[in-house]
Structure 1
Amino acid sequence: MSLPVYASPLERVWYYTRLVICALIFLFLIAPILIVIPLSFNAEPYFTFTEKMLAFDPTGYSLRWYDLLLTQPSVPTDVPRDAAWWSLVWQNSAWVNAAKNSVIIGFFSTIVATVLGTIAALGLSRPEMPNRRLIMAILISPMIVPIIITATGLFFFYSSPCALLNWTGLAQHCGRLTGSYLGVVLAHATLGIPFVIITVTATLIGFDQSLNRAAASLGAPPTTTFFKVTMPLILPGVISGALFAFVTSFDEVVVVLFVAAHDQQTIPRQMWNGIREQISPAILSVATILVVISIGMLATLEILRRRSERLRGVTPH
């Protein structure tokens, strides 16, 4: 909002003071990112700015840590980087394998969270739904409860998923979810469902229910009404929730430490292991890549938000 021409001197002072305060808050929030990105190009194995970097000497900057992401731990570096070399990278690079695990787990957990969260949001948006506030509080509790408590509960539950069936004698036939990809996917879906519920519910607030009634009056069955009328209008909210669920899964490390097996390394877990065992600026390179991915997702969310406003006839101010 621009300053009006009729503003008083006190209003002008407060206007510029507010701009300075907002700029300082923004700098405080983005300062860690601004520091991490240039440090990832450090030619030396340090987490500090060298004299050459401060002097903008080209020899002080290098892509060696990005290259290390492809070659660690057993990919040769002194051979031509042809298709065979990239095949070795795809199979043997620890960071590439961690990225593959993160994408696979994030993809399937996002599908589960999006489907279940959307169904829950549709039910919670109906006025005849009993105890909506209580159910809503229970469904979003994984977002409120400290993650260490959720991870501990999931670990003990996954260790004996059929404990409640002991009295039937069927418990010995049940498999363990701890250490399995299915267990990690379900755990990440549990953490992503609240974000889907919140975003889809917020989209449904401005949804005109008379459109569904009109479709029903014309003879459309509920499934056709949902996929032809409701879904296209709430799609921006569904995609926004799915992106939040994917980011939640992609960045999660505590649940992975409790639930996943030792060989199910994701990027956050690989970074955690790198910090514990051998501090390397390669971690900063991974962080920079994740920042770029996060910026792309935030830009996508903003585009979807504006599209949703246009569909609902809301003009942003």
Structure 2
Amino acid sequence: MALPKHASPLERVWHYAYLVICALIFLFLIAPILVIIPLSFNAEPYFTFTDKMLSLDAEGFSTRWYDLLLTFGMLEPEAPRDSSWWADAWANAQWIQATKNSIIIGFFSTILATTLGTIAALGLSRPEMPGRRAVMAILISPMIVPIIITATGLFFFYSSIGIQDWGIPYLGIILAHATLGIPFVIITVTATLVGFDHSLTRAAANMGADPVTTFFKVQMPLILPGVISGALFAFVTSFDEVVVVLFVGGLDEQTIPRQMWNGIREQISPAILSVATILVVISIALLTVVELLRRRSEKLRGMSPG
């Protein structure tokens, strides 16, 4: 907000002090990301800035750690990079395997969390539902309870039912990540339903539409931005989660965060910084999509001009 012309000297001092404080807080929050990105291009196997990097010498920068993401674990990493080389990378490179696992787990857990979370949000949005506050508190509890407690509980629960013997790959992690993602879907969809005009559903019912048709033809198009936003949050939650995977994941279910954790414990390599940089870029892209969907949702509900 611009400073008015009639502002007093004290108001002007506070205005600029407020801007400085906000800038310092933003720098404090963003500094770890700003440090990780250039360090991922370090030509040396260090987690610190070298003299060549500080002097902006081109020899101090390299993409060798990004290349290591493709070659680590390959049978013949030095072979010519033809179709057989890429087949070797796809089948054996550990970071690629972790990426495939993360995408598979994130996709199915997001589908499950979005479906269940949207259904729950629709029920919680109805004023006649009894005990809405208590049910809401229970459903969003995975956001509040420390993740280590949730992971421990899931570990003992899965052990008691023998889920590892069911023969369904990734099932335990998918269900666990869906549990963690459902609260995000409920919150975003519920926020979208706050401004929803329920007279539209009553009008559809008066014209003979059944509940399923009313949902897909009337409600879903209007709440779709909130549903997609919740799905994105659920996917990011699954994609970045490591504690639950450590507790309930099998040896062949390495995800990107778990691979990063193993890399920190077993061999310190700047390749971890390369992965972190890629994840930061992906997160920024997803947050941009969420913001665009939020603005679209406000326009559909008539809450913003234009």
> Normalising to structure 1: TM-score of the pair?
0.94
Choose from 249, 252, 274 the match for 1:285.
Answer: 274
How far apart, in 1, do the equivalents of 2:75 and 2:274 lie? 18
Question: TM-score when scaled to structure 2?
Answer: 0.97
Q: CA deviation at 1:180?
A: 4.4
Match of 1:6 in 2: 6
Query: Runs of 5+ in structure 2 lacking a partner?
Result: none
| Equivalent AA in structure 1 for residue 177 of structure 2 | H
1:202 alignment counterpart: 191
| 1:268 and 2:260 are equivalent in the alignment | no
CA contact (8 A) 1:161 1:177 kept: no
Instruction: Decide which moves more: 6-15 or 242-251.
Output: 6-15
**Aligned counterparts of 1:175 and 1:74: Cα–Cα separation in 2:** 28
- Counterpart residue number, 1:126: 126
Following superposition of structure 1 onto structure 2, how do residues 7-156 of structure 1 map, counting pairs within 5 Å? 7-156=7-156
Matched residue count? 306
In the alignment, the residues of structure 2 paired with residue 180 and residue 85 of structure 1 have an alpha-carbon distance, to the nearest angstrom, of 27
CA distance in 2, matches of 1:74, 1:105: 23
CA contact (8 A) 2:158 2:164 kept: no
CA shift in 2, pair 1:182/1:50, >3 Å: same
Task: Answer yes or no: is the 8 Å Cα contact 2:77–2:85 preserved in 1.
Answer: no
Question: C-alpha separation between the residues in 2 aligned to 1:175 and 1:63?
Answer: 40
- Per-residue deviation at 1:79? 2.4
- State the partner residue of 2:291: 302
CA distance in 1, matches of 2:180, 2:20: 37
> Partners of 1:108 and 1:315 in 2: how far apart?
34
CA RMSD of aligned residues (A): 1.6
Q: CA separation in 2, counterparts of 1:310 and 1:82? A: 50
Aligned residue number for residue 169 of structure 1 = none
2:294 is aligned with 1:312: no
Shift of 1:12: 1.2
Q: Give the match's secondary structure for 1:160.
A: helix
Distance 2:285 2:147 in 1: 26
Q: How much has 1:177 moved relative to structure 2?
A: 6.4
Distance 1:152 1:210, change over 3 A: same
Q: For residue 84 of structure 1, report the CA deviation from its aligned partner.
A: 1.8
Unaligned runs of 5+ in 1: 163-173
CA distances 1:213-238 after superposition (whole Å, capped 9, x unpaired): 11111111111110000000000000
Q: Which of the residues 236, 243, 254 maps onto 2:243?
A: 254
CA distance in 2, matches of 1:157, 1:178: 17
Aligned partners of 1:203 and 1:234 also within 8 Å:
yes
Within 5 Å, give how 1:167-186 maps onto structure 2.
Answer: 176=165, 180-186=169-175
**1:75/1:52 CA distance change after superposition, 3 Å:** farther
Distance 1:249 1:312 in 2: 30
Which residue identity does 1:225 align to in structure 2?
Answer: T
Shift, 1:80, TM fit: 2.0
Q: 1:216: which partner in 2?
A: 205
Q: Which residue of 1 aligns with 2:220?
A: 231
CA distance in 2, matches of 1:234, 1:75: 49
Q: Contact 2:42 / 2:49 at 8 angstroms: preserved in 1?
A: yes
- Aligned-partner Cα distance in 2 for 1:194–1:178: 28
Distance 1:148 1:316, change over 3 A: farther
For residues 33-52 of structure 1, the C-alpha deviation after alignment (integer angstroms, 9 at most, x for no partner) is 00000000000000000000
Q: What secondary structure sits across from 1:279 in the alignment?
A: coil
SS of 2:161's equivalent?
coil
Moved more, 176-185 or 88-97: 176-185
Distance in 2 between the 1:108 and 1:316 partners? 37
